[in-house]
Amino acid sequence: MAKQKFQVILDRLPELAVRAAGCVQALLSNLVLIGEIPAPTFGEDRRVRFIADRFAENGLVSGSVDEKGNAIAVMPGSKGDRNILLEAHADTGIPSSVDHTILVEPDRVMGPGVANNSLGVAVLAALPHFLEKMEIVLDSNIIFLASSRSLARGNLEGLRFFLENNNLPLCAGICVDGTQLGHLSIQSLAMMRGEITCTVPEEYDWTRFHATGAIRTINEVINQINAIPLPNKPRSNIAFGSIYGGSGFNKVARHAVLRFEIRSEDDAMVKKILRQIRDICEDVSSQKESRIDLDVFTERKAGGIPFAHPLSRRARKILETLQIPCRVSPSTSELFAFIDRGIPALSIGITSGEVLAYPDELVNVPPMTAGMTQLAALLLAIDGGYCDEHS
Amino acid sequence: MNIHEWLNSNTFTYRSFWDLKHLVAEKENKGLRVSLCLPTLNEEKTIGKEVLIFKSELMTRYPLVDEIAVIDSGSSDQTREVAAQFGADVYLASDILPEMGSKKGKGENLWKALYQLSGDIIVYIDADIKNIRPHFVYGLVAPLIYRPEIKYVKAFYERPLAAANGVRPIGGGRVTEILIRPLFSLFFPDLAGLIQPLSGEYAVRREVLEQIPFPIGYGVETSHLIDVYRKWGLQAIAQTDLDQRVHRNQPTRDLGKMAFGILQTFLSRAEKMGIIGKLPDLGTVLRQFQVQGEEYKIQEFDIPEEERPPMISIPAYRKKWGLDG
C-alpha cells in the first residue's frame, strides 16, 4: 500500500520539475544575497541574521536566532503532528577579508563558498516559495535550521546545541549541501580532525650541525605518519588537508602547522591511529628539540541508517526516477549530529559544482531544478510516512 | 528651505525603508507605476546579476517594480543576450525613436528610456555595480512614494566605519570633490549639499524628466540637478544613503574626459542662465599626453556635449502619452 502511494509522488515528479524550473531565479537571488555576506565559522552572525529575516519574510513562524547563533523557524504543517528538520550550515571556511563578490552567468554562479554552503542555506530561504508554486502543503511541520559554528573548530556546535535543546520530536532530518546532486550520505564515518603545530624555541642554537627548521620537522612527522599501516577493513584513511609555515625563501622556519583528518569506518581504528600520531609527535619532538603540539578539536563517531532503510531507499528511488545517477557515500559532516541522537537523516546535494573549496568555486544552474524537485519529493515522502522505519 | 534644513529633512538612509510590504501597499494606493532602467555598454559580467536580483526581489517577491528595461548602446559582448535570459526587456537605444537619429552616450540611453518606459517613476541604475542589492532601487523610490513634494532622489554611498568616532569628512569621488563641489559652491551653493551629485543611480518622476533636456554625455547628471533645482527648488531634490557601491575604478585620464564633458555642460548652463557673461565659442577637444622614448605626443579627444531637448517637446512622445488631447 505504502509503495503504491509513494508511486503517486514519483508520478508527480515531472510536474514538480516544471514548477521548480519557474522558481530557480528565486533560489539564485537568495544565493547571491546570502553568499555575498561573509560568514567564517564564529563570524557568521550577519549572514544568520539575514537568513532569519528571510524566514520571517517567507511567513515562517517561531523564528529566532538562538544563543549559539542558529537561525530557526517553522513552517507549520496542516496537522503538525510530525516534525521534519531541514538543515544547512550557514558558516563557511572563507575569511571575511576575501572578496565575496559572486558572478552570475545564465548557466553558472561563481564565487567563494557558493557550493559549500551558500547554496544550501539559499535552498532553505527559497524553499517556501518553491513549495507554494508546487502547491505542496505538508501535514508535518518543517523546521528550518541554518546552523552556526559547523565547520573546523566549530565542530557542529550550533546543530548539536539545537538537537540537545529542541523539544519537538523529529521524525527525520535532511542536511542540504550545495553539491553534489546525486550524492547521498546516510552514514557518518568515524573521524578526528586536528592540527600539529611545530614551534622552534627562540633560544635555539642554529649553529648546531643538526639544526633544522619547523618545516623540516613537520616533514619528518608527515613521513612517519605516512608509514602508519592503514587497514582495508575497516576502511581507514589519513588526509593532510593543509600545511603552512615559515616566512620566506632562505630563513629557517620557526613555526609550521599541519592540518589533518583521520577517517575510518570504525571508531576504535580512529582512536588507534590517533594514538600512533601522538607517539610520532612526541618521538620527533624529543629528537629535534622542537616543540610539537597536537590539538584534536573535532570528533565524530561512525553510524547512520542502513542502506535498506526506507529513507535511503525512497531517496534513491527519487533520484533514479529523476534520472540522476546516485552515489551513496559516507560523510563526516552534520549527519553525525543526527546519528548521535538516533534521528534518521541523510544529506543531499542540490546541483553539480566545480573548483570546490577555492575562491572561484562554481555551481551549475541547470541541475538546480532537479535538485529542488528531489528535495520536494523527499519532503513529501517523509511527510507521507513512506520513509518511516517499518514502512 | 536652506541647505542645512534640506540636509536634515531630505537626506535618507535606505534602512528607513525596510518595510517593503508597506512601501508596495503605498505605491499601489497611490496608483504609481515604477520602471527600472539599466543603461548598458558591454556589461555582460554584471548585468545578469543586476537583473536577477531586481526581478526576483522587487518584482516577484515584492511587486515594487513594474518593468525592468536594459537600454543598450550597442554592446559588442553578450550584454543584451544575458539580460534577456534573466528576464529584462532589452532595447537597443538606436531602435527607440529612430526618426530622432542615434547619438553616442549614456545620456542618450536615459533620454530614450523615457520614451520607451511606462512608469510614473523612472529609476536609473548603472549596470557595472558588483555588489548589487534590492535597496539600490527601493532606497531611491521610497522617498518619491512617501513624499509627494520630492521629485528627484539621488544616491550616495556611505558605509559607517566601526572604528570611527566623532566627526570625519565624507564626500564623492575625485571629479566631484575637485570639480563639481567647487563649482556648485561658487554658483549653486544649495546643490553643494548633495553628497555624491555624480552618482549614476537616481529615481525621478516622469513629470520632471520629460520637462528637462538631456546632455547625451558626461554632463547629464550635473545638468539634471541644476535644471531640477531651478525649476522646482531644492525641496524637490532628496538623497539616499545606499551604504556601499563596489564597481570598477576609473583611471585618472578617463576622469579627465568626464570632467571636460561636465565642465562644458556646466558653462553652457551658467551662460544660458546669465550667471556668467557671454562665453566665446568653446572647443570640444580635450588634449592629453603620452610619451614614447623622449618624444612627447598629444592625444586629442573630441568630446562634444550635445543635448537632447525635453522629451515633452517630441511629437512622438506627446502622441504616445496623449498630451495633445
Tell me: pLDDT of B159 over 80: no
Domain end marker among A267, A300, A333: A300
| pLDDT category of residue B224 using cuts at 50, 70 and 90 | very high
Radius of gyration of chain B (CA): 20
**B255 closest CA partner among B175, B164, B141, B161:** B175
Q: Which residues pair with B292 in a beta bridge?
A: B295
pLDDT at B90: 98
Tell me: pLDDT of B163 over 50: no
B52 and A33: CB-CB below 8 Å? no
Residue among A26, A57, A104 minimizing CB distance to B49: A104
Chain B (106-135) residues lying within 8 Å, Cβ to Cβ, of chain A: 130-131, 133
Residues of chain B with C-beta less than 8 angstroms from the C-beta of A129:
61
| pLDDT category of residue B162 using cuts at 50, 70 and 90 | very low
Continuous H helices in B129-238: 135-146, 174-175, 181-187, 206-209, 220-232
Q: Are residues A262 and A346 in the same domain?
A: no
Residues of chain B with C-beta less than 8 angstroms from the C-beta of A32:
49, 52-53
CA distances from A147 to A151, A171, B78, B131 (A): 10, 19, 39, 25
Instruction: Report the percent of chain B where pLDDT is more than 90.
Output: 81
Q: Which of residues B174 and A210 earns the better pLDDT score? A: B174
Distance from CA of A46 to the nearest CA of B (A): 14
Q: Does A103 touch chain B (CB under 8 A)?
A: yes
Residue-wise pLDDT tens digits, A288-311: 778 999 999 988 888 889 999 999
Q: Are residues A376 and A263 in the same domain?
A: no
pLDDT at B161: 43
Q: Does B57 touch chain A (CB under 8 A)?
A: yes
| pLDDT category of residue A333 using cuts at 50, 70 and 90 | confident
Q: Is residue A66 part of a domain?
A: yes
Q: Are residues A82 and A211 in the same domain?
A: no
Residue among B52, B130, B131 minimizing CB distance to A25: B52
The set of cell numbers assigned to B260 is 571636460
A25 and B53: CB-CB below 8 Å? no
Q: Are residues A137 and A215 in the same domain?
A: no
B53 and A29: CB-CB below 8 Å? yes
Q: Is residue A337 part of a domain?
A: yes
Residues 6+ apart with CB under 8 A from A329: A183, A184, A185
Count up the domains in chain A and report the number.
2
Best of A28, A104, A109 to substitute, by most chain B Cβ atoms within 10 angstroms, is: A104
∠ Cα A221 A225 A226 (to 5°)? 115
Q: Is residue A391 part of a domain?
A: no
Tell me: pLDDT of A382 over 50: yes
Mapped onto helix, strand or coil, the DSSP state of residue B258 is helix
Q: Is residue A389 part of a domain?
A: no
Burial-class residue A249 by CB neighbours within 10 Å (0-12, 13-18, 19+). Answer: exposed
Q: What's the CATH number where A290 sits?
A: 3.30.70.360
B45 and A102: CB-CB below 8 Å? no
What's the mean pLDDT when you consider all of chain B?
A: 92
**A124 closest CA partner among A69, A45, A177:** A177
Domain end marker among A248, A265, A300: A300
Residue-wise pLDDT tens digits, B72-129: 999 999 999 999 999 999 999 999 999 999 998 889 999 999 999 999 999 999 998 8
Q: Are residues A180 and A316 in the same domain?
A: yes
∠ Cα B318 B324 B325 (to 5°)? 130
Residues of chain B with C-beta less than 8 angstroms from the C-beta of A28:
52, 56
Distance from CA of A150 to the nearest CA of B (A): 27
pLDDT at B64: 98
Q: Is residue A390 part of a domain?
A: no
Residue-wise pLDDT tens digits, A121-178: 999 999 999 999 999 999 999 999 999 999 988 989 999 999 999 999 999 999 999 9
Residue pair A193/A297 in contact (Cβ under 8 Å)? The answer is yes
B57 and A101: CB-CB below 8 Å? no
Which domains, ranges and CATH numbers included, belong to chain B? 3-249 (3.90.550.10)
Q: Are residues A137 and A222 in the same domain?
A: no
Q: What is the DSSP string of A330-373?
A: -BSSTHHHHHHTT--EEEEEEE-EESTTSTT-EEESTTHHHHHH
B274: region left, alpha or beta (phi > 0 left; psi from -120 to 50 alpha): left
3-state helix, strand, coil in chain A (%, to 5): 35, 25, 35
For A69-91, what is the mean pLDDT?
97
Distance from CA of B238 to the nearest CA of A (A): 27
For A347-352, what is the mean pLDDT?
97
Q: Are residues A234 and A321 in the same domain?
A: no
Domain that holds residue A108: 2-188+302-383
Tell me: pLDDT of B164 over 80: no
Q: Is residue A63 part of a domain?
A: yes
Q: What's the CATH number where A326 sits?
A: 3.40.630.10
Torsion angles phi and psi, residue A246, rounded to 5:
75, 180
**A295 closest CA partner among A95, A150, A92, A152:** A152
Q: Is residue A96 part of a domain?
A: yes
